Structure 1
Amino acid sequence: MSASGSGRVRPGELLLSAVATVSWAFLAMAGVAALGLHLVGADGAGALGPMTAAVVVLAVGGSVTPAGDVEAFGLKGAQAHSAVDIAPLGVGLVGALLLGWLFVRSLRGAGAAIGRAELAARAGAVVLLFLLVLAGLAWAGNDTVTIDAATLGLTGGPERPGGLLEKLPRELGDIADIGSGLLPDRIERLIDAKAAVGFTVEAGRSLLGGAVWVVAVLLIALLVARRAPVPRGLEAAHRTVRPAASALYGVLVLAVGAGLAAAVYAAIGDDHPRLVLGAALLGAPNGVWLGVPLGLFVPWHGGAIGALVRVLPDPLDKLLDGREDQPITVARLAELDGRVWLLTVACVLMVLAAGVLTAVRTPVGRAGTAGFTGRCALWLGVLTALALPLLVRLTGVSAGASLSVLGFDAFGAGIELHGSAPAAAALGAGWGAAAGAVGALAARATGAAGGRASRYATLRSEPGDAPATAK
């Protein structure tokens, strides 16, 4: 799949490229979602197929709404409706990486620049086909999950003896004998009769969210792919924004890889390794990318009640347990566990690594060390100022649950986590500029500056630029 470079696109080639790009992306997302759901045991409550479709839709910006009647637990019908707004970024990241890679690979034959019409045609075909497949998943992502009363501690059972209903005759004494001892039995039948809850994908909102998601993925892919062409007239991007964008992209993806490796290590000694691995597959980027802005001192606030507290890492669960709208900072978490400061160390090292990579991939100019340092600091600062608010938006959580959805029982539970986007932008600009400057100075001192610049970055030098070695 390569671009012809002539500016004309054959319809057959265009369709084949779009089909391959979209189909591989959705297959990868479905595989990760199904495996993750199976490992966490969600398929024990309902059909795996509809759950997988719903999770993929959530991963690409869609919306899933549970609906049920759980009046036996003191909830009315209107209270049993709560939209799920937690994107499983592990699923979405796999799809985004594959979609972006295949898309830019189809453009490489065009050289350093590509016609705007050809680029629009190729991107438009991918977006259209993506939305068609997403519409099919929205239709398939509807099902009913069954709540096991034993998991709520109501009926007990072989694995959880001593449930509430088993204790009723003993605790109620003579009252339990009313109606020939049928009171506990009637309560159990009432619970069992109201234990089915459905979930539905909201087609309109999901298609709109999916359109935003796929366009954003294609734009980011064009921004970070140093060997892919850009629209004619924007060739300067090879020398300016792309080195910094690819560096920042690389360290963020590497951080997710480190998070997955840590999850595998944790699963080895855990009592429930399948649960740890499944949660990591579905949500490793959620935790890692929440930690990046937090470690760089972006303030957060939130709260958690009920069963959803268990999904939070330590010591965040201790800080938020049963509380609402609490400020979340590294300093407050460090009061509970001093090792939290290592998060800041890791995040600073990550940004510095991005600064070094930016300098190594940016062509060197004749303006000298000051001009080169300023260029690296400028572009990495701008992109980090955009990236941190995006991470804050992606990892923010807003979920209220009065029922079981996708196999997780969360009666009366809720969780809120939101970061400050303005603070993220300001801190991102500062951290990025500082890291870009330090990386440029280090690269200049060691002679590595510009050593890995793309060949496209040196085809047309800016006034005052000296040729750099293309790799």
Structure 2
Amino acid sequence: MGAMRSAATVGGPRRIRWGDVLLTAVACVSWSLVGMAGVAALGLHLLGADAAGSLGPMTAAAVVLGAGGSVTPSGDVSAFGLEGAEATTAIEVTPLGVSLAGALLLAFFFLRSLRALGVEISPGELAARAGAVAALFLAMLAGLAWAGHDVITLDGASLGLDQLPDGGGLTDDLPGGIGELLPDRLGDLVEAEAAVGFTVDTGPSLLGGLVWVLGVLVVALLFSRRTPLPAALAFLDRVARPAFSALVTVLLVAVAAGLAAAAYAAIGDDHPGRIAGAALLGAPNGVWLAVPLGLFVPWDGKATGALAEVLPAPLDAFFRASADEPATVGRLAELDGRVWLLVVAVAVMMLFAGVLAAARTPVGPLSAAGFAGRCAVRLGGVGAVVVPLLVWLTAVSANASLSVLGFDAFGASLSLQGQAGMGLLLGAVWGLGAGGLGALLAYGAGAAGGRVVGGASGAGGGAASGPGAGPLSGDEVGPYDPAPPFRPANPQTNPYLRLPDEVRESSRDGSSPPDEWPQGGGGRKR
């Protein structure tokens, strides 16, 4: 690999072709936003959200939320002829299904453009390509922020309240004599109008979008082991890329399993569209919330009113009963013993990540214990970064209330936030354990170092050794340094080793000594 890099840079730094940079940025951003908009629109339609408002603005707002933006809902309800009746709503949640669709497409086209440049890329060209993608993405996000606002107006007549002149028996069971007051006010309720709107916050959305797009590009570069890096970052090929790509791979597989489970649940449900829509928008939210929970990361939260139904069981029952204590696996298992299966599943997932990282890490001259220690340290470092990131991405905060003259007529709230500090510690501990055990399993099975690609093959300062060390594990690898043959050359089966007739005849005459004959390069007489 070192010889190939040197050969590629003999001519000096390559000029940046700005036309190619711009076309790459257009392809990356357009495909990414198309994927995000498609997932958001389909998910909202399956949930029936377009029945209450325009699907276009809601899709734009969902894409902005998926890209790290901010949306502020607002509402004003005037009922019973009273002033000051206001509905307030605040929502902070990222539809990770939308985010993941856009991130996968953006990473695919960005990495594909980098691989076309050869075995090495200059820091200037990498910065130019990443900067062009980020700038164009922010420009498109600003357009979505302008389009992502809408106002939905509801009136009592449209709700069918004019068909209930005496309350229709709906108020007979209300306590405290409240039901006696409502029938006389139903006429006023028919005249009531509710205006509920949402607006994208442009400034925070652009800042969040910048963080999102740069984060996606960094994750993509660390994940893809075959994409070239500048010479100054070549150490990432052997230090970070094998472990990071392994852990991200198992997280994506977990999302695919979540989607498969949602599809199975939708088959026998009365409303399969709702399950499918919720899975499209929020399957990664649920799966990536379960991973830190299965690693014993505590979660703080509370849930009241209708919003508590959003949480999966037994989290909903736990936070309804106790909002002062953090949710842990032990406390949740007291409500449902099947929670321990989550720990088993996450442990198997981490062990698989350890085996996969070991297969992608060169063995070098290390012993089994040394190789296991190297893999453990690297996967532990990656786990200490990825687990807190999952905690941050899956945090949820929502509040909705309708207050009339200072009295709350309706209230619902939902808050869920993992402890990032414990996520960092437990991610490192689980990474150390899974990395070491997975490396020992891979070493014993002969799979260690068997999936090494790119610059990682030069790790350890020498040729790889031990189980799984193949012909492509040395410092000088590639098509210009073929591996030695498995058997001696045979001129009878290899026509390129046969001497031409004129050379053979001259050797019989003694005009050409044998030591001057061409070695392996003689061609056949035509």
TM-score normalised by L of structure 1: 0.89
2:169 aligned residue: 167
2:238 aligned residue: 239
CA deviations over 1:235-294 (Å, ceiling 9, x no partner): 121122100010000000110010000000011111211111100100001100000000
> How far off its partner does 1:322 sit?
6.4
Name the CA distance, whole Å, in 1 between partners of 2:136 and 2:388: 29
Name the CA distance, whole Å, in 2 between partners of 1:156 and 1:423: 55
> How far off its partner does 1:100 sit?
1.2
Name the CA distance, whole Å, in 2 between partners of 1:163 and 1:55: 40
1:29 aligns with 2:30: no
1:270 aligns with 2:269: yes
Moved more, 412-421 or 123-132: 412-421
> How far off its partner does 1:91 sit?
0.5
SS in 1 for 2:190: helix
Cα distance, 1:216–1:171 mapped onto 2, change above 3 Å: closer
**Is contact 2:77-2:86 (8 Å) kept?**
no
Please point out which of 76, 79, 89 is paired with 1:82: 89
> How far off its partner does 1:32 sit?
0.3
> How far off its partner does 1:384 sit?
0.4
1:186 aligned residue: 187
**Is contact 2:68-2:208 (8 Å) kept?**
yes
> How far off its partner does 1:156 sit?
9.9
1:452 aligns with 2:459: no
> How far off its partner does 1:339 sit?
0.8
Cα distance, 1:457–1:75 mapped onto 2, change above 3 Å: farther
2:145 aligned residue: 138
> How far off its partner does 1:73 sit?
8.8
Name the CA distance, whole Å, in 2 between partners of 1:165 and 1:114: 73
CA deviations over 1:50-79 (Å, ceiling 9, x no partner): 000000100111010011212539998696
Alignment map for 1:72-111 (pairs within 5 Å): 72=79, 80-111=87-118
1:294 aligns with 2:293: yes
Moved more, 316-325 or 54-63: 316-325
2:65 aligned residue: 58
Name the CA distance, whole Å, in 2 between partners of 1:440 and 1:119: 33
Cα distance, 1:441–1:66 mapped onto 2, change above 3 Å: same
1:431 aligned residue: 430
Cα distance, 1:149–1:355 mapped onto 2, change above 3 Å: farther
Cα distance, 1:37–1:318 mapped onto 2, change above 3 Å: same
Q: Percent identity?
A: 59
Q: What is the aligned residue count? A: 451
> How far off its partner does 1:340 sit?
1.0
Which is greater in Rg?
A: 2
More helix per residue: 1
Name the CA distance, whole Å, in 1 between partners of 2:84 and 2:443: 66
Alignment map for 1:452-471 (pairs within 5 Å): 452-458=451-457, 460-466=458-464, 468-469=469-470, 470=472
Alignment map for 1:404-419 (pairs within 5 Å): 412-419=411-418
Moved more, 111-120 or 341-350: 111-120
Q: Structure 2: which amino acid aligns with 1:17?
A: T
CA deviations over 1:183-221 (Å, ceiling 9, x no partner): 34423224x31x220100000000000000101110010
1:67 aligns with 2:67: no
> How far off its partner does 1:452 sit?
0.7
Name the CA distance, whole Å, in 1 between partners of 2:27 and 2:452: 30
CA deviations over 1:357-414 (Å, ceiling 9, x no partner): 00001111102222211111111000001111100000011111237xxxxxx95211
Name the CA distance, whole Å, in 2 between partners of 1:58 and 1:386: 23
Name the CA distance, whole Å, in 1 between partners of 2:165 and 2:116: 66
Alignment map for 1:4-403 (pairs within 5 Å): 7-72=14-79, 80-146=87-153, 155=161, 165-167=167-169, 183-190=184-191, 192-193=192-193, 195-321=194-320, 324-402=323-401
SS in 2 for 1:113: coil
The alignment's C-alpha RMSD in Å is: 3.0
Name the CA distance, whole Å, in 2 between partners of 1:164 and 1:337: 45
**Is contact 2:315-2:332 (8 Å) kept?**
yes
> How far off its partner does 1:307 sit?
1.1
Cα distance, 1:177–1:111 mapped onto 2, change above 3 Å: closer
Between 1 and 2, higher relative CO (CA 8 Å, sep ≥ 6) is seen in 1
Cα distance, 1:150–1:334 mapped onto 2, change above 3 Å: farther
Q: Structure 2: which amino acid aligns with 1:357?
A: L
Q: Structure 1: which amino acid aligns with 2:461?
A: P
**Is contact 1:113-1:235 (8 Å) kept?**
no
Cα distance, 1:466–1:63 mapped onto 2, change above 3 Å: same
Q: Structure 2: which amino acid aligns with 1:463?
A: G
Q: Structure 1: which amino acid aligns with 2:464?
A: A
Name the CA distance, whole Å, in 1 between partners of 2:27 and 2:285: 28
1:406 aligned residue: none
**Is contact 1:307-1:411 (8 Å) kept?**
no
SS in 1 for 2:116: helix
Cα distance, 1:322–1:331 mapped onto 2, change above 3 Å: closer
Q: Structure 2: which amino acid aligns with 1:447?
A: G
Cα distance, 1:166–1:142 mapped onto 2, change above 3 Å: same
TM-score normalised by L of structure 2: 0.80
SS in 2 for 1:324: coil
Cα distance, 1:164–1:270 mapped onto 2, change above 3 Å: farther
> How far off its partner does 1:461 sit?
4.3
